[in-house]
Structure 1
C-alpha cells in the first residue's frame, strides 16, 4: 500500500499544530480517522513519526526529517494543480503550430492579433515551413495544428476545410503575357519556369497540370523561398505560379499576378490535427479562432476520436 495525499496532509497538520484535536478541525476529519491515517502512514514508512504522551505530542527524529519533505510534496502538488488549472483556463501555456510561409505571412497575422487579445499569456511557436513538412510536423506530434493544403490521403489526420485557394500566374510587368487578363497554362509553359524546391506542393501542382496537358516541365530555377521566386520573376528570369493569397506579397517583389485558366486550378486550405488525439485548450481555442475568422459554420468538438 502506498502513501496517500490524505496521510501526508494529516501528518503535516498534526506536526504543525502538535495536536490531533486541532488538526482534526483543520482537515474536517474525526480524530479516529486522523489516527488511522497516521498509523497507516507509519506502517508504510516503517516507524513512528510522533512520540505521544498524555500531555505532549512531539516529532521523532525521523518525523523531523520527514516534515520538510512532506511539506514540499504538498507544495509541489498545489503548484502542479494550479499550473494545470491555468492551462485549461488558458491563463498560461505554449501552443506549437505550423503553416506554409505565405499563409503564415498573409493569413495568420490578423488571426493571431485576435487570439493574443483573448489569451495574452499563451505563447506561440509558429513553424513556417513547406506544406509537406506542415503535415509531417502535425503527424509526428511536434506541433498540434497545421494550416495547409488538403492532401486527400492522410487518413490519420483530421482536416477542417476553410477556403479554396486558386493558383495564379506570376509574371514580370514587361512580360509578353502581362497585358492579358487571363493566362493559359499552355502559354505559360513556353517560358522558363521558376518554382520552389521539393518537397513543394506548388511544384507538385505544376507537374500534375503538365502531365494532364501532355507538356514537358523542367524548372529553370528552384529555390527554398517563394519571395525569392517573386524577385527573380520580377527581374525577367521567367514565370511561375503562386496561391492567390500570395498576391500582395508578390506585388511587393515587383512581379504581377494574372488569373490562370485552362485549367483553373484550386486547392482546399484547412486546419489539420491528429485524429484520436485531443487538442490542448490552447490549440482548440486557436482552431476555433481560425474557423471564426472565415465565418465557417463548422461544428467544433474536442473529442479523442
Structure 2
C-alpha cells in the first residue's frame, strides 16, 4: 500500500465515480482503475462495489476510509514539516560554545542568523571548552565553538582566528597607561583567574610553567563577568582572551597587550567529521564563519 494508491482510493471514495476521481487526480480512468485494482490485490479483497450505474464502498472499504484520511494527513504534514525545515521556514539547531565566545561574539552572530531565519530556534549551551568537545562528540549538539583540539580525527575544525591573551587591569593602575605589559610585570600584582577545569586557566598554567613557575592565584571565579568586576574594583589583575576585551571594558576594567610570552590559541568551529549537518545547522555554520571573518580585522588592531 503506497501513497499514490491511498490518494486514488480516497478520491474514488469521495466522488463515488471513477470518472470524476480521475479528473481530480489528472489520471485516465483506466490508469485509476489499475491503481485501485493493485491496492485491492495488495490488501486481499475488494474495496468498492461497482455496477454500471454506481460505485459504493464495501465494508472493508468503509473500514479503510478513516484510516486512509489519517495516513494521508500525516503524510502531508510530514512533507510540509520537512519542506519548511529544508527551506529554513522552521527548524532547530543546538550549539555549544565556551563562555568567552558565548558571552562576547556569539550574540551578534545569532542576531544575523535570526534576521535571516526568524523561525529557526537556536539552543545555546554555554559550557567550558572540555564540555564543548564532549557535547559535539556525543552528538548532543551539531556545532561547537572552542579552542582547536590538540588532536582529533573525529572532529572537523574550521578556524576563526588566532586569539591572544590580553592583560586586564584596573583603569587607575599604573599599568593601564602602558601599551603592553610583560607577564613578569603583571604577575607582581594579585592575580585573578578562572577556576579549573577551565581551558583558559589550564592554557595559562601550561604556557607560564617553564618561564614563571606555578601560577599564584589570589582570587578565582567560574565567571568572566565576575573576574572583570573584581579587576575593576581593584582586587587584582587578570588575563583573558582578546575576544573578551569589550566585555571587560563594559565591566569597568582596562585591557592591554600582554607579552613575554605571547600566549595564543586558535579558536574555531567544530563538528563531527562523519556527520551531515541539518539544513539549520549548515546555515548557522555559514553565518558564524562569515561573522568571524568580519571580526578578524578588528581584532588585529588590538594586537
Both proteins in one fold, TM over 0.5: yes
Q: Which residue of 2 aligns with 1:265?
A: 263
Superposed displacement of residue 126, structure 1: 1.5
Q: Which residue of 1 aligns with 2:103?
A: 105
Q: Secondary structure at the match of 1:153?
A: coil
8 Å CA contact 1:159, 1:273 repeated in 2:
yes
Alpha-carbon distance in structure 1 between the residues aligned to 2:84 and 2:97: 26
Alpha-carbon distance in structure 2 between the residues aligned to 1:281 and 1:163: 25
Calculate the aligned-residue CA RMSD, in Å. Answer: 2.1
Alpha-carbon distance in structure 1 between the residues aligned to 2:268 and 2:147: 6
Tell me if 1:189 matches 2:187.
yes
Q: Which residue of 2 aligns with 1:207?
A: 205
8 Å CA contact 1:202, 1:241 repeated in 2:
no
Q: Which residue of 1 aligns with 2:297?
A: none
Alpha-carbon distance in structure 2 between the residues aligned to 1:153 and 1:242: 24
Instruction: Give the alignment of 1:110-259 within 5 angstroms.
Output: 110-175=108-173, 177-259=175-257
Superposed displacement of residue 129, structure 1: 2.0
8 Å CA contact 2:95, 2:124 repeated in 1:
yes
Superposed displacement of residue 75, structure 1: 1.6
Q: Secondary structure at the match of 1:237?
A: coil
Instruction: Report the more deviating stretch, 19-28 or 174-183.
Output: 174-183
Instruction: Report the more deviating stretch, 78-87 or 47-56.
Output: 47-56
Q: Structure 1 or 2: larger helix share?
A: 2
Q: Which residue of 2 aligns with 1:7?
A: 5
Deviations 1:18-65 (A, max 9, x none): 122222333344444433332332343343321222222111222122
Q: Which residue of 1 aligns with 2:276?
A: 278
Deviations 1:102-152 (A, max 9, x none): 322321233222222221221211222222222222222222212222123
Deviations 1:177-196 (A, max 9, x none): 44433222233334433222
Q: TM-score, normalised by structure 1?
A: 0.88
Runs (5+) with no aligned partner, structure 2:
295-303
Q: Which residue of 2 aligns with 1:293?
A: 291
Instruction: Report the more deviating stretch, 29-38 or 161-170.
Output: 29-38
**What is the count of residue pairs matched by the alignment?**
294
Q: Which residue of 2 aligns with 1:25?
A: 23
Tell me if 1:68 matches 2:62.
no
8 Å CA contact 2:204, 2:263 repeated in 1:
no
Superposed displacement of residue 87, structure 1: 0.9
Q: Secondary structure at the match of 1:213?
A: helix
8 Å CA contact 1:95, 1:124 repeated in 2:
yes
Superposed displacement of residue 166, structure 1: 1.1
Alpha-carbon distance in structure 2 between the residues aligned to 1:217 and 1:73: 66
1:45 to 39, 43, 46: 43
Runs (5+) with no aligned partner, structure 1:
297-305
8 Å CA contact 1:169, 1:240 repeated in 2:
yes
Q: Secondary structure at the match of 2:234?
A: coil
Alpha-carbon distance in structure 1 between the residues aligned to 2:113 and 2:171: 38
